[in-house]
Homo-oligomer: A and B are copies of this chain.
Amino acid sequence: MVEKVNGTTWRQRLDQRQEEYLTQLSELVAIPSVSALPERRADVASAAEWVAARLRQAGVEHVGVHQLGVDSSAVYGDWLHAAGAPTVVVYGHYDVQPAQEEDGWSSPPFTPRVADNRLYGRGASDDKGNMLAPILATEAILATEGTLPINVKFFFEGQEEVGSPDLAAFVAAHQEMLAADFVLAADGSQWSETEPELTLSFRGLCALELTLQGPENDLHSGIYGGTVQNPIHALCSLVASLHDADGRVAVDGFYDDVVEPTPDQRQQFARVPFDEAGHLAATATLALFGEKGWTTHERTWIRPTLEVNGIWGGFQGDGTKTVLPATAHAKITCRLVADQRPAEVVKHIEAHIHKHADPAVTVSIQAEEAAGAPYSVPATHPGIQAAAAVLADSYGRDPYQVGSGGTLPLCGIFLEHLGIYTVPFSFGLDDEGAHGPDEFFRLDNFRRAQLAYGDVLYAIAS
């Protein structure tokens, strides 16, 4: 229909140019844009320039490299001529994780090579291959149709692999530039080579550190043992009080704002295959574990947790030291789900600790800076509906509706500062070594991503 101009559709154009695109992706992967290493800052900047040039070449307008924080960058460009149609932000990142051949790579990580229909190299999957796809789709549509079905704002950053510390401030300062109906995140994964997924939630995070002071200094356990409360004992009792026997967090108010899943949502989760043997093998644990009444998927995706990430106090050396220690410490983080608010949860935990702490010790609690609110997008969101339709078409089956146990600060940032949801739409797979050696991207998925991005722009339009 509208897709045909000069006898070539945008799909045909994409298909005809896979070899050229592979060369371009290889060029981008060859830039060692490691954001964690100060000595690689110039390479991150080179990657930004490469992306900006590629956007311009694709026909995107207002392309520029912006300062992000003091020493990083973001690339913005847009095409805004679809009057009356929706506007989306396409998000991705051109920085990569560190990689050295000594880490176990079979070949130099920044010398891309093709084998088995895969492109090997740091960043091939996370996120250079994925973020290039929407640019190529846009170029193909503009070249064949002369117009896009919707308005598109491209926004790529160079800080994702170090936690995007300056992203929130940037988004807050560029609200007009980034205003849109929602975000398509070209960073993420699908369930498998044959099964698509849609990630509808990410957990949030709050963190605190706990110090219990008993005596002012370490004491001799012979002279004082039995007459002074041991802060390790008091700490262990406190930690033990944080969960009940059913694995629920036993802090008053902790679950107050937790959104219970609908029966339909639980049915959706039940559809998602769970590899029990694989889970046990991956964790090298003995049996499934967790909050009673929930499946492992649910425990990971839509139930909050409270974990002690570290504990210490007293003597940790070889042998025996009969000390009654002065202090004991614990670090705690919670994974939060919608609609829990990190600051409220910290308050509930503080209240619990003050209520349950042994009066013989002095408690101090330090709330730590940590990355934000939980995120959840309704399955009925138009962006999700469009993505679902395209994925169903591309894979020949409906996508699994899943959650993520981790935290994607991006989603909370766009929701908070622009009031818009983020729809993950990306084609990596978990086995592609995103943060390990021998990272690769499947070339079939590179092509699939380009076509799916073209399709999703049309799906959003309709």
Residue numbers of A with Cβ under 8 A of B are: 203, 205, 207, 214-217, 219-230, 232-233, 235-243, 279, 283-291, 296, 299-300, 303-305, 307-316, 319-325, 328-331, 333, 335, 359-360, 362, 368-370, 404-407
B residues less than 8 Å from A315 (CB atoms) = 309-310, 331
B residues less than 8 Å from A330 (CB atoms) = 232
Known: A225-B307, A286-B359, A312-B316. 20 other contacts (CB 8 A): A221-B335, A223-B405, A224-B283, A224-B405, A225-B405, A227-B279, A227-B289, A227-B299, A228-B290, A232-B309, A233-B242, A236-B237, A308-B314, A309-B323, A309-B324, A310-B316, A311-B312, A316-B329, A319-B369, A322-B335
B residues less than 8 Å from A242 (CB atoms) = 233
B residues less than 8 Å from A369 (CB atoms) = 319-320
Query: Nearest 8 A-B pairs (CB), nearest first?
Result: A222-B406, A216-B284, A310-B314, A236-B239, A310-B315, A240-B240, A236-B236, A226-B305
CB distance from A283 to the nearest CB of B (A): 4
CB distance from A109 to the nearest CB of B (A): 22
Contact A308 B406 (CB under 8 A): no
B residues less than 8 Å from A279 (CB atoms) = 227
Number of this chain's copies in the assembly equals 2
Q: A308-B233, A325-B310, A406-B223 are in contact. Are A283 and B368 (CB under 8 A)?
A: no
CB distance from A402 to the nearest CB of B (A): 13
Contact A320 B239 (CB under 8 A): no
Point out the residue from B237, B290, B311 that lies within 8 Å of A314, measured CB to CB: B311
A301, B405: Cα distance in complex, Å: 52
Point out the residue from B283, B290, B305, B323 that lies within 8 Å of A219, measured CB to CB: B283
A290, B225: Cα distance in complex, Å: 9
Contact A311 B328 (CB under 8 A): yes
CB distance from A351 to the nearest CB of B (A): 19
Contact A240 B230 (CB under 8 A): no
B residues less than 8 Å from A215 (CB atoms) = 283-285
B residues less than 8 Å from A240 (CB atoms) = 233, 236-237, 239-241
A321, B209: Cα distance in complex, Å: 11
B residues less than 8 Å from A232 (CB atoms) = 239, 308-311, 330
CB-based nearest B residue for A247: B226
CB-based nearest B residue for A406: B222
CB distance from A289 to the nearest CB of B (A): 5
A241, B236: Cα distance in complex, Å: 9
Contact A226 B360 (CB under 8 A): no
Q: From A207, A308, A309, A313, name the one whose CB has the most chain B CB atoms within 10 angstroms.
A: A309
B residues less than 8 Å from A227 (CB atoms) = 279, 283, 288-290, 296, 299-300
A205, B217: Cα distance in complex, Å: 22
